[in-house]
Amino acid sequence: MRSPLPDTAGMAFRRRYGASPLHLLLVLASFALAVYAGLRLLKGDTLGVALWFVGAALLHDLVLLPLYSVTDRAVQAAFGSAPDVAHHVGRVGVNYVRVPAFVAGVLLLVWWPLILRRVDHFTAATGLPADGFLARWLLITAGLFAGSAAVLLARTWQRTRPARRAARAQARARRATK
Confidence of residue 89 (pLDDT cuts 50, 70, 90): low
Confidence of residue 85 (pLDDT cuts 50, 70, 90): very low
Q: Rounded to 5 degrees, what angle do the CA atoms 157, 159, 162 make? A: 100
Closest alpha carbon to 23 in 33, 9, 35, 13: 13
Query: According to the model, what pLDDT value does residue 30 have?
Result: 95
Confidence of residue 19 (pLDDT cuts 50, 70, 90): confident
Region 12-31 average pLDDT = 89
Q: Which of 1-5, 16-20, 74-78 has the highest mean pLDDT?
A: 16-20
More confident residue, 67 or 161: 67
Model confidence over 35-55: pLDDT tens digits?
A: 898 888 878 788 888 888 899
- Out of 42-56, 62-76, 120-134, which region has the weakest mean confidence (pLDDT)? 120-134
